[in-house]
Structure 1
Amino acid sequence: MTKRSAQEESENNVLQSIVSKKRCFVITPIGNVGSEVYIKANGLIDAVIKPVLQELEYHVEAAHHISDSGSISNQIIERLLEADLVVANLTGLNPNVMYELAVRHARRLPVISLAENETKLPFDIQAERTLFYDDSMSGVENLKPRFLDAVNSIDFEATNHDNPIYRAAKSSIMQQIAATDAEKYIIDRMDQISSQLSEIAIQNRKSSVTRISSSPDFKIVIGGESPTKLERLHIQSLAEAYRLGIVYGNAYPNALFVFSTSREDSANNFLKALTEKFPKLYGHIEG
């Protein structure tokens, strides 16, 4: 086998590996190379999106990763319409990002939205599930299990996924076929109730974040054999399910994890669930 043919075979193997994987396209602000926007956008991809999705055997790509010849706009639209999953970084509310998100919504395929804390989402997507995060090392570790849960919760077998564009179109159609004023009144009331419920959901999410960040009374110190990357993601996802915070610092130098909570029952239930699922781990509760 010649050197050239061996190289071609290696390239073909790489391409075949990519084709066989699910595809994720990342909608993101890019900015100029070396700018703060560029560094932050790539940091989110490299520290959270890629590690989580590569463990799930996804091929991850953003617009500035595309090296194919031809129209970049056409290639972006093609990926928005065909990718198995799209992840949208809404930080900064970049106009291109919002446009590309609308294209994906029109296709009614899965989208996961991320945004840095303090991002003020437009009213028409405020009710959509968005994973907010801190731009810090601890923020990255907190975001990973929540992002993993969001991916695992997607029903990829569903033919259509709910989003603002679909709901607006559906509401318009319903209004057109309503035969009487009474029916129109009922539809209007349903829309009002839906908006109120969305507002309540937003407030609940905000209060949940406040509760998690409040001073904890109990710490769960975990030791044992070091987990794999995938096991670590599962552990952090389990901690998120029990609404535990993560403790950082040097107070526990031999611990693998230290979690915090204000509820003793949550601490006990989490520790029991963790050690049953991962027998190589052990722990104790302080406080």
Structure 2
Amino acid sequence: MKTCFIVCPIGNEGSETRKNSDTVLKHIIQPVCQELHFQVIRVDQIYGTDRIDNTIYEHLKTADLIIADMSEYNPNAFYEIGYRHALGKPLIPIMKEGTDIPFDLASLRTITYATDNLDKASAAKERLAETINSFDFSIEQNEKENEPVHQNITPYLLKIQDEIEDLKGIMLKRNDEFAKQTVELAIEQIQKNTAAPENKFAEILMKEIANDPKKFKEFDAIFKNLS
């Protein structure tokens, strides 16, 4: 069975931090990982005689997957995320809804969750499963020093798709027909995997503007309102 090591702020027994971490583990992470045949490991649930830091480093190096919660900007969690990221092995950051994503991690697909909303919790589980399935765990990982294994590019493409989906939602609320159609075409091309999503989006946009130059002003005004 593959292993999934959880990086997160744990806090003292009974603290709000511990309650949140336990809730996320029980209701979001564990159901998804169990369905995908991963053994979930969190450091406070490991009993042994080794030093705790040695135990953490060992799991950071050897676990098939790391899921890291950045919600409280815990310095230990960020250090462990950086350590894992340097190894180039599967890593999925998660954050509580409303938390700002640190700049250096903005390129990674970060899954937001909410523990007080069943629909949002369900959506987080779906995205978590989708991201886990995007990794190829059959590839033998090269653990030699200074030879990190490059991560699968699919999670980065999924992040781009997330951002376009968010843009589509904004356009639907604005009821802007031109922008809505452009985004829908881009999403359709992403799903077909015929080209890099950002390039296809730009290509479609340029064609629309070439056909009707006035649309550039419309789209420019939309993005100014979003910024």
Question: By the TM > 0.5 criterion, same fold?
Answer: yes
**C-alpha contact (below 8 Å) 2:6/2:66 kept by paired residues:** yes
Identify the residue that residue 222 of structure 1 maps to in structure 2.
Answer: none
Match of 1:23, SS state, is strand
Q: What's the TM-score, normalizing by structure 1?
A: 0.51
Match of 2:72, SS state, is helix
How far is 1:69 from its partner? Answer: 1.4
**C-alpha contact (below 8 Å) 1:29/1:89 kept by paired residues:** yes
**C-alpha contact (below 8 Å) 1:127/1:202 kept by paired residues:** no
Does 2:164 match 1:204?
A: yes
How far is 1:208 from its partner? Answer: 4.6
2:128 corresponds, among 147, 150, 155, to: 147
Match of 1:155, SS state, is coil
Over the matched positions of the two proteins, sequence identity in percent amounts to 33
Match of 2:11, SS state, is coil
* Alignment partners' CA distance in 1, 2:121 and 2:65: 21
Rg larger in 1 or in 2? 1
Does 2:58 match 1:82?
A: no
Task: In structure 1, list runs of 5 or more residues that go unmatched.
Answer: 1-20, 164-198, 216-240, 242-287
Identify the residue that residue 112 of structure 2 maps to in structure 1.
Answer: 132
Quick check: which one's strand share is greater?
1
4+ residue runs over 4 A deviation:
199-203, 208-212
Q: What's the TM-score, normalizing by structure 2?
A: 0.64
Instruction: State the number of aligned residues.
Output: 161
Distance 1:209 1:43, change over 3 A: farther
One-letter amino acid of the counterpart of residue 204, structure 1? I
2:46 corresponds, among 51, 54, 66, to: 66
Match of 1:93, SS state, is coil
Match of 1:87, SS state, is strand
Task: In structure 2, list runs of 5 or more residues that go unmatched.
Answer: 142-148, 153-158, 175-190, 192-227
How far is 1:145 from its partner? Answer: 1.2
**C-alpha contact (below 8 Å) 1:91/1:116 kept by paired residues:** yes
Superimposed CA distance per residue, residues 232-251 of structure 1 (whole angstroms, 9 cap, x where no aligned partner): xxxxxxxxx9xxxxxxxxxx
Aligned-pair RMSD on alpha carbons? 2.7
Superimposed CA distance per residue, residues 241-269 of structure 1 (whole angstroms, 9 cap, x where no aligned partner): 9xxxxxxxxxxxxxxxxxxxxxxxxxxxx
